[in-house]
Amino acid sequence: MVNNMYNEFNIDDNILKNSRECENLISERFKEIDEICEYNTLKVLSAFHKNCVSECHFNSTTGYGYNDLGRSAIESVYSDIFKCEDALVRVQIISGTHALTTAFFGVLRPNDTLLSISGKPYDTLDEVIGIKDNNSSLKSFGINYEQIDLINDDFDYEQIEKRLKGKFVKMIEIQRSKGYSTRESISIDKVEKVIKLIKSVSNDTIVMIDNCYCEFVSKKEPSEVGADLVVGSLIKNLGGGIASNGGYICGRKDLINLCAERLNVPGEGKEVGPTLGFNKSLLLGLYLAPMIVKNAVKTAIYTSAIMERLGYLVSPKWNDERVDIVQNIIFNDRNKLIKYCEGIQGASAIDSNVVPIPSEMPGYIDQIIMASGSFTQGSSIEISCDGPLRNPFIAYQQGALSYEYGKIAVMNAINKLNSLE
């Protein structure tokens, strides 16, 4: 019966055979992912109980957003999950880039230094920082930017220590996920190790972590290992595929207040910001997030196994430690990258009839091919796949609200690749 249904999608028996053999191979890894999900589910439920989340918290405010009980409850829940002093969780934050920008401009002042120790940040931050000229960048406000690249996918501890012993660095930024680079994503253990070094040399330096794509993939979050600020998007992991907008900043109370005053206005900070009917979706998305992230990670592991079996280079491999929900397939071929993305789009629930084509996108240097047939525009926790049209033509696949939907999309993408032969 199931095979007959797959035949309706023109997925042949050879692809199905490969798929089942890969699932047998990765079954023990799936058990490990289940255990992480169970742990994080308990963490979320504990935070809901501790803060007595109630039906009244589904109510929301308009206008200024004064006295929003639901908003306060959500931010307390986030504080408990991240084991930090305070949180800013707002639908007014439109993306991870916006959340990071809010933190940068909230904390940094003219003549301060921002140091990235994970290499060049994601492309959309080029104009925010001033790597690419923009009159609204940090650089235009007299904020200095420096960068220390990774060495063999780990921090350059010697150079970091040497730099911190020089002129004071106000903020260190670490991007855990790889972005559109070819490096590995950064594990929580590596984050903990480098934070210990930073604080031993310069305790007043603020450590901010770009946590996008990484939430609930591990049992710990960066704030649990010494990070001062942790930043992310709600149309990725923590929105659980339910939140249709929003971002979060968690960490030290004084820093959260600065971020809130930058997002809103000085003097009002966290006290304003209408929730406009979104409280229930933010709570429900967070409640489901451990399970949704589990499905996304399982889809990534499956993709890695079956694509490697078909002869493609993949990163990470199916049995590697998982740090985020992103899976790379290295095609070294423009047409194969495009066809793979077409296959992912064709198996999406929304806009399955649309064919993605390479195009320019705001914030990116190269043309981007992007498959994202999602219920929420730009959602990375739903099955999606994208990549820049440049060598070595890497697909960056992420998400899947259920493992089954993810698996179907990957098999459909393989079918598209086969059409090139």
**DSSP3 helix / strand / coil % (the chain, rounded to 5):** 45, 15, 40
List, in sequence order, every residue forming a beta bridge with 388; answer none if it has no partner: 368
Determine which helix (DSSP H) or strand (DSSP E) holds 29, and give its type and residue range: helix 27-50
206 membership: H or E segment, kind and range: strand 206-210
Q: What is the per-residue pLDDT for 179? A: 84
353 part of a folded domain:
yes
147 beta partners: 116
48 located within any domain: no
Instruction: pLDDT tens for the chain, 421 residues: list them.
Output: 677 788 888 898 999 999 999 999 999 999 999 999 999 999 999 999 999 999 999 999 999 999 999 999 999 999 999 999 999 999 999 999 999 999 999 999 999 999 999 999 998 999 999 999 999 999 999 999 999 999 999 999 999 999 999 999 999 999 999 988 889 999 999 999 999 999 999 999 999 999 999 999 999 999 999 999 999 999 999 999 999 999 999 999 999 999 999 999 999 999 999 999 999 999 999 999 999 999 999 999 999 999 999 999 999 999 999 999 999 999 999 999 999 999 999 999 999 999 999 999 887 888 999 998 899 998 999 999 999 999 999 999 999 999 999 999 999 999 999 988 7
- Burial class for 323, CB neighbours closer than 10 Å (0-12, 13-18, 19+): buried
Question: What's the confidence (pLDDT) of residue 1?
Answer: 67
Contact 122, 88 (CB under 8 A): no
Residue 386 makes CB contacts below 8 A (sequence gap 6+) with: 341, 368, 369, 370, 371, 372, 395, 396
Cα(314)–Cα(318) distance, integer angstroms = 9
Do 358 and 267 share a structural domain? no
- Domain limits at 411? 2-41+287-418
Instruction: Strands of 24-143 (E only): list them.
Output: 86-90, 113-116
Total domain count, the chain: 2
Torsion, Cα 51 57 62 63, to 10 degrees, reads -20
pLDDT of res. 366: 87
**Same domain, residue pair 28 and 126:** no
Global pTM value: 0.96
Query: In one letter, which amino acid is 306?
Result: I
Q: What is the pLDDT of residue 9?
A: 84
CATH number, domain of 325, equals: 3.90.1150.60
Nearest in space to 217 (alpha carbons), one of 269, 290, 311 = 290
Written as six digits, the tokens of 113 are: 């230094």
User: Residue 5: its pLDDT value, please?
Assistant: 84
From 224, 259, 280, the end of a domain falls on 280
Q: What are the CA-CA distances from residue 391 to residues 40, 180, 310, 331 (Å)?
A: 38, 11, 20, 9
Same-domain pairing of 317 and 196 = no
For 233, the enclosing helix (H) or strand (E) is strand 229-233
Decide if 326 is inside a domain. Answer: yes
**Are residues 74 and 174 located together in one domain of the fold?**
yes
Among 220, 255, 280, give the residue marking a domain's end: 280
Beta bridge partners, 146, equal 115
pLDDT value of residue 363: 74
Nearest in space to 146 (alpha carbons), one of 122, 113, 108, 168: 113
State the pLDDT at residue 175: 98
> Which of 376, 374, 340, 346 is closest to 358 using CA atoms?
340
Supply φ then ψ for residue 371, to 5 degrees.
-105, 120
Query: Residues 112, 201: contact at Cβ < 8 Å?
Result: no
CA distance 263 to 405: 37
**Domain assignment present for 113:** yes
pLDDT of residue 298: 98
The secondary structure of residue 306, as a DSSP letter, is H
Answer with the one of 244, 263, 280 that is the final residue of a domain: 280
Residues contacting residue 62 through CB under 8 Å, at least 6 positions apart: 274, 276
Same domain, 361 and 405: yes
154 vs 160: CA distance, rounded Å: 12
Q: How far apart are the first and last CA of the chain?
A: 29
